[in-house]
Amino acid sequence: MRWKLYLSLVLLTLVLTFVLQNTRAVTFNFLFWAFSLPGALLLLVVFITGIVTGLLLVASQSQRRRRAAGNNKNQFQKTESSRKGSLNGSD
């Protein structure tokens, strides 16, 4: 688990180095707008957007799995209780 922390720190250092070396103003277009800002800021915005997107995807998958596990547990309990009820009723 510690290797993930070290890998994250190395990647963060590489990204920050890349950003700091690219500070020239960059113009980019999005739909109807044209923006001009330092390349470093644009790279940081894209990087942070990627992180947030990844976290949202992981959170939604995790929530979906928890919900599915809860539904499976409820269905199992209903099946078990009905099975026990039918066994007790036939005795």
> In 3-state terms, what secondary structure has residue 1?
coil
Name the β-bridge partners of 37: 26
pLDDT at 83 over 90: no
| pTM (whole model) above 0.85 | no
Q: Which residues of 29-51 are buried (b: 16+ CB within 10 A; e: fewer)?
A: eeeeeeeeeebbebbeeeeeeee
Name the β-bridge partners of 25: 38
Distance of alpha carbon 22 from alpha carbon 83, whole angstroms: 68
Q: What digits encode the pLDDT tens for the residues 12-28? A: 899 788 878 878 888 98
Q: Diameter of the chain by CA atoms?
A: 84
Q: What digits encode the pLDDT tens for the residues 39-48? A: 888 878 888 9
Angle at alpha carbon of residue 40, lines to 35 and 46, rounded to 5°: 70
Higher pLDDT, 30 or 34: 34
> What residue has token string 């547990």?
73
Query: Which pLDDT belongs to residue 84?
Result: 63
